[in-house]
Amino acid sequence: MGRVNGGGGKTTTEGALFVAPRRPLVLEELALEPPAANEVSVRMVASGVCHSDLHVVDGDWERPTSVVLGHEGAAVVEALGEGVEERFPELRRGSLVVLAWTAPCGRCPPCLRGEGWLCIQPAGSNHRLAPEQVRLRRLDGSPIGVYSGIGTFGTRQVVAAEAAVPVDPRTPPAVAALIGCAVTTGVGAALNTARLRAGQSVAIIGLGGVGLSALLAAVLVGAHPIVVLDTRPAKLELATSLGATHAVLVDPLDVERTLAEARRETAMAGFDHALECIGLAATCELAVDLVRPGGTATLVGMTPQGVRAQVDVYRFVEEGKQLLGSNYGSSVPALMFPKIASLHLAGRLPLERLVTETLPLEDVNEALDALRRGDGARRVVVF
């Protein structure tokens, strides 16, 4: 466990390291330097275990090794680097913050267009930092990377001040952690990317942390009907208890039957919206097939790198469909995180229902195994 030496000096921290694809994460004691200018040091309070972490562990995505993994976390600010107080007056010692895996720089063309989620130079985007930016080291002094600049599978981290977004301190830690990825991704995909509105029909494919968050947003805005699709009956039961109006058990080997069943449930020729929240070519294609002429399919799930999906171009064009990609729920974290936390505290987004289990950092590999099996909604490491 982390230990702070007097006077804001070096600290030790424990981190779960990605050492090689298809190998368990390795827990290691590490040395953490104090924050430099425009950085803050934080003590992690909770971290969700997201399928994007699993994509890294399973070797679906090429990523550097010797990196503290984890990108869905909440933390408490321990110390402010130079200049933070002036530039971010709302960030104080003791603030509860949700960490952003894309911390928009505010200056590049996408940021200037108001599309911070597409920022070209977000803080820590390379997972491995330039030598002058390294704050985390092995006890022998060799540098350690920090996944997406936040490495939430670590008891303490130094992060860019932009990546630490204060939220209402009453937000429960596990809920705050999930806001850092799954919730903002799913809620934002429905509200910001797809612009789902009251009375519109929606099909949500895949009911992990991301898909269930999209479902809660669909319920929040009054979409109807809300049809959920998954291969696991337990996911369908949970989704129904959260407000889905129809549930379809997907047979991956029989897409035609799945399509027919989803449509029959609603007596419609197709949905206004479909959201793919898994990351499989077959279900991306299913999303396009599920929408009505003029409807919108939004892809949220991420495949292994290089996977392509097929579109029947003739029909797609003739039927005037739309296909969108949604990165981080098309959200600016500094706006979206506090908004979601306040919706939760107002009782409008029951995000605590996404937490299947909380566990210590030592058990993070078991949580990844459970995710691989599709068992449960979200597991959250609490520190």
Ligand X SMILES: NC(=O)c1ccc[n+]([C@@H]2O[C@H](COP(=O)([O-])OP(=O)(O)OC[C@H]3O[C@@H](n4cnc5c(N)ncnc54)[C@H](O)[C@@H]3O)[C@@H](O)[C@H]2O)c1
Give the interface with ligand X as residue ranges (CB under 6 A).
50-52, 55, 181-182, 185, 205-211, 229-232, 235, 250, 252, 277-280, 283, 300-302, 326-328, 371, 374
Whether the upstream peptide bond of residue 35 has omega within 30° of 0, thus cis, is no
- Helices 209-221 & 233-241 angle (0-180, nearest 10): 30
Query: What's the min distance (Å) between Cβ of 309 and ligand X?
Result: 13
Nearer to Zn ion by Cβ, of 226 and 302: the residue is 302
DSSP codes joined into one string, 151-204: -SSBSEEEEEGGGEEE--TTS-HHHHHHIIIIIHHHHHIIIIIS---TT--EEE
Nearer to ligand X by Cβ, of 104 and 279: the residue is 279
Torsion, Cα of 220, 223, 226, 230 (10° steps): -60
Nearer to ligand X by Cβ, of 80 and 150: the residue is 150
Nearer to Zn ion by Cβ, of 255 and 370: the residue is 370
Phi, psi (5° rounding) for residue 200? -80, 150
Answer with the entry of ligand X, Zn ion, none that 231 interacts with (C-beta below 5 to 8 A by kind): ligand X
Spatial CA neighbour of 29 closest among 13, 43, 16, 45: 13
Query: What's the min distance (Å) between Cβ of 211 and ligand X?
Result: 6
Answer with the entry of Zn ion, ligand X, none that 108 interacts with (C-beta below 5 to 8 A by kind): Zn ion
Query: What's the min distance (Å) between Cβ of 72 and ligand X?
Result: 8
Q: Please answer whether residues 300 and 189 qualify as being in contact, where contact means their C-beta atoms are separated by less than 8 angstroms.
A: yes
Tokens for 161, please give them. 């001040």
For tokens 């680097």, name the residue.
81
Nearer to ligand X by Cβ, of 162 and 230: the residue is 230
Query: What's the min distance (Å) between Cβ of 212 and ligand X?
Result: 7
Nearer to ligand X by Cβ, of 4 and 226: the residue is 226
Residues of this chain, 111-150, that bind Zn ion according to CB under 5 A: 111, 119
Query: What's the min distance (Å) between Cβ of 18 and ligand X?
Result: 15
Nearer to ligand X by Cβ, of 11 and 185: the residue is 185
How far is the C-alpha of 182 from the C-alpha of 333, rounded, in Å?
Answer: 13
Nearer to ligand X by Cβ, of 190 and 205: the residue is 205
Answer with the entry of ligand X, Zn ion, none that 105 interacts with (C-beta below 5 to 8 A by kind): Zn ion
Query: What's the min distance (Å) between Cβ of 371 and Zn ion?
Result: 11
Residues of this chain, 303-332, that bind Zn ion according to CB under 5 A: none
- Residue 22: other Cβ atoms inside 10 A: 7
Backbone dihedral region for residue 195 (phi beyond 0: left; psi -120 to 50: alpha; all else: beta): left
Spatial CA neighbour of 145 closest among 56, 84, 75: 56
Dihedral sign from CA coordinates of 152, 114, 328, 311: negative
Query: What's the min distance (Å) between Cβ of 272 and Zn ion?
Result: 27
Tokens for 365, please give them. 């590999």
How far is the C-alpha of 64 from the C-alpha of 208, rounded, in Å?
Answer: 26
Answer with the entry of ligand X, Zn ion, none that 111 interacts with (C-beta below 5 to 8 A by kind): Zn ion
Binding mask 20-59 for Zn ion (x = CB under 5 A): ------------------------------x-x-------
Query: What's the min distance (Å) between Cβ of 193 and ligand X?
Result: 9
> In angstroms, what CA-CA distances link 293 with 271, 273, 378?
9, 11, 34
Which position among 27, 31, 54, 108 is part of the footprint of Zn ion (CB under 5 A)?
Answer: 108
Closest residue to ligand X in the complex (CB):
208
State the residues that interact with Zn ion by CB under 5 A.
50, 52, 104-105, 108, 111, 119, 181
